[in-house]
Amino acid sequence: MNFLAQTTSTTTTTTGVTFPTLVLTAMVWSAVVFALAALLMPNQTQDQLRRIKSLGSTGAGAALFFAIWAVETQVSDAAGGTGGIPGGDLVEQHSWLSSFPIASSYHLDADGVALSVILVVSVVFFCAALAAWRNQRHVKLLTVCLLTLETASLGILVSYDWVLFLLFWTLAIVPVYVLARAFGPGHGTRVATRYAATSLVSAGLLLLAAVLIAFQAGAHSFDMGVTPVSLPGDGETVAFWLITAASLLAMAVVPLHGALLDLEEDSTGVLSAIFAAVLPSLGAYTLVHVAVGFFPTTSGSFSLFFAVLAVVTVVWGGLAALRTDDLRRLIGHVGTVFMGLVLLGVAGHTSIAITGIMFLLLARGLVIGVLMLLASLIQERTRRVRISQLGGLAWQAPFLSAFWLLATLAAAGVPLLAGFAGDFFIFTGSFPAHRWASTVVLAGTLLASGVLVWTAQRVFLGASRDTFERARDLGPLELTYIGILVGLIVLIGVVPGHFAELFQNGAGYILFPGVA
């Protein structure tokens, strides 16, 4: 038996030596390697704590480096039609569990949807690792859990085998739970447990779907590379709904949003940014890549369900954002509205709409990440979480205010910022199929954007308050990580074409896998 039967793509050097491409492996595992190193480090003195933080930043930086490498490789291949679809330069496959009747392999690959989320995840984690330099509580725990969560998140995005996919999906639950308990307030246990229970339910649903697909598809394999999947009888519908339910739980769409919103509200800034920017995106990726990608016909036949759910989610999210007085919860609601847009894109079921989802996921992660980090900086400076207690901060913190406003405009879908392309493509792609739903969702999105602008006015404008006289503006470290995120928001807004072909190829593969 050959345990390492290899079907990995290879790279040939100038010396003629070939070696397997390991970009995705390096990207996924680099963070956890640094986590293990941090775990073994002593954490008694300030110097030792600084070393642990350095390991955290370096680990996240290494993952970001390989993520950019992977994305750019695919961007350059996109013009030739191979970038953004599986089976390209990045594929890695090694036999793993060949002795079991349903075989499994170490199969990594990435399509357009995955690459858009990979970029967001790696950038947000890197910025979070930089932001965590100011943290003094549970330093080792925070570093190890963040890096483990990054490995799990990236692993979900590149797994092309059900066993691996489920492994990473479930692995992500543990660090989120521990972090939520460590950094949550008094009732952190309840919030963390609720989220863990929700996530474990979604993992269980995915496991059942995986087993059903592996068994009924007839291939006797857990490999996810063969799409679309054709199952006999009602198997296809059952598997589709199992995956969809798991994805919707992770995306935190209405009415399944409570656990994640509580988690975002109760965590510290760095964690809120990761929880809000990364976790729902993983659910959206699963919905688009797995549920729609495996069952394009079945998902198309249920497009009305997604349209209705999109309307409910966006309207509820917009109204809840209008009503809330908590800054972080407001951003959470705006994140929910974005997820409603993803649902509308799925309901549209066209290449344009799916392309829009990829742009939206890219923009959403960056925008929500910036807003959450800024919200935590505001809270840190003012010791206030209520919007009604804030005001006039623009005089003390002009950079902070400017960045908030820019992120707000990006969330509203203003041209030349990252949010525009996603909104534009999703509405263009969905309008012909669901006119009323698209119109209502557009109204809901405008409502959420309006709330964000109104919030900016209430928090930053108005007369300068004596209470916040000593609130300082962003320091060099904060300018660095916020600047990276905002820079990307502007860059993607100015040159969306850089990713256009990549995402179009990915969308084509998801809806018409046989053709692509």
Return the closest-CA partner of residue 430 out of 335, 342, 338.
342
Q: Which is nearer to another protein, 145 or 471 (CB)?
A: 145
Specify whether the CB–CB gap between 489 and 367 falls below 8 A: yes
Q: How far is the CB of 68 from another protein (least distance, A)?
A: 26
For 473, half-sphere exposure in the C-beta direction (CA atoms, 13 angstrom radius) is 13
Q: How far is the CB of 211 from another protein (least distance, A)?
A: 5
Q: How far is the CB of 381 from another protein (least distance, A)?
A: 26
Q: Which is nearer to another protein, 65 or 215 (CB)?
A: 215
DSSP category for residue 267 = S
Q: How far is the CB of 309 from another protein (least distance, A)?
A: 24
Distance of CA 323 to the CA centre of its chain: 26
DSSP string, 46-66: HHHHHHHHHHHHHHHHHHHHH
Q: Which is nearer to another protein, 142 or 390 (CB)?
A: 142
Q: Which is nearer to another protein, 138 or 384 (CB)?
A: 138
Q: Which is nearer to another protein, 48 or 389 (CB)?
A: 48
Specify whether the CB–CB gap between 109 and 285 falls below 8 A: no
Q: How far is the CB of 208 from another protein (least distance, A)?
A: 6
Beta-bridged to residue 94, according to DSSP, are 6, 106
Q: How many distinct helices (H) and strands (E) make up the chain?
A: 22, 4
Specify whether the CB–CB gap between 499 and 75 falls below 8 A: yes
Q: Hey, CA dihedral for 128, 131, 133, 137, is it positive or negative?
A: negative
- b/e string for 461-477 if b means 16 or more Cβ within 10 A? eeeebeebeebebbeee
Q: Which is nearer to another protein, 87 or 204 (CB)?
A: 204
Specify whether the CB–CB gap between 271 and 183 falls below 8 A: yes
- Sequence-distant (6+) residues with CB within 8 A of 497 are none
Instruction: Give the span between the Cα atoms of 244 and 256, in whole angstroms.
Output: 13
Q: How far is the CB of 184 from another protein (least distance, A)?
A: 9
Q: Which is nearer to another protein, 102 or 402 (CB)?
A: 102
User: With 0-12 CB in 10 A as exposed, 13-18 as middle and 19+ as buried, what is 326?
Assistant: middle
Q: How far is the CB of 169 from another protein (least distance, A)?
A: 9
Q: Which is nearer to another protein, 215 or 399 (CB)?
A: 215
Q: How far is the CB of 398 from another protein (least distance, A)?
A: 37
Binding site for another protein (CB under 8 A): 1, 3, 95-102, 138, 141, 163, 166-168, 170-171, 173-174, 177-178, 181-182, 189, 192-193, 196-197, 200-201, 203-204, 207-208, 210-212, 214-216, 218, 220
